[in-house]
Amino acid sequence: MIFFCCYNLLSEIIDESLTITHNKTKHVAQVEKDINEDVEVVCSKTEIVQVLINLIVNAAHALEEVETEHKRIIARGYTDGQYAVIEVEDNGPGIPKHIMNSISLSWIIS
């Protein structure tokens, strides 16, 4: 399998993910984005978009289960030193501690 990595704008990656998941999220939550438009990253756009789709859909599923009046999903993109950071946040119930201890939510490439 051949993977192609090239320069991508973080804003385009997040926008594409939100567009693809729009039909799933539109009746569940208010979706917001907070993106530094100037962040350029070297990555496989397809792979990062797929990860974000999974996170956004999981957030929508979690929000379907709660009785909160103002359900929201926020996608953020920014830099932290030399690293680009993407966050997906929701105001759902969160990941249970027994599951959180066995998963990794951080990928760092140096």
pLDDT band at 106 (very low <50, low <70, confident <90, very high): low
Q: What is the pLDDT of residue 14?
A: 96
Residue 1 lies in a domain: no
pTM for the model = 0.84
> Alpha-carbon distance 29 to 90, whole Å?
9
Q: What is the pLDDT of residue 60?
A: 96
Q: What is the pLDDT of residue 5?
A: 72
- What residue numbers bound the domain in which 29 lies? 6-100
pLDDT band at 58 (very low <50, low <70, confident <90, very high): very high
Residue 59 lies in a domain: yes
Q: What domain count does the chain have?
A: 1
Write phi, then psi, for 79 (nearest 5 degrees).
-110, 150
CB 43 within 8 A of CB 85: no
Residue 108 lies in a domain: no
Residue 110 lies in a domain: no
Buried b / exposed e along 31-43 (16+ C-beta atoms within 10 A)? beeebeeebebeb
Which CATH number belongs to the domain containing residue 34 in this structure? Answer: 3.30.565.10
Residue 109 lies in a domain: no
Taking the alpha carbons at both ends of the chain, their separation in whole angstroms is: 22
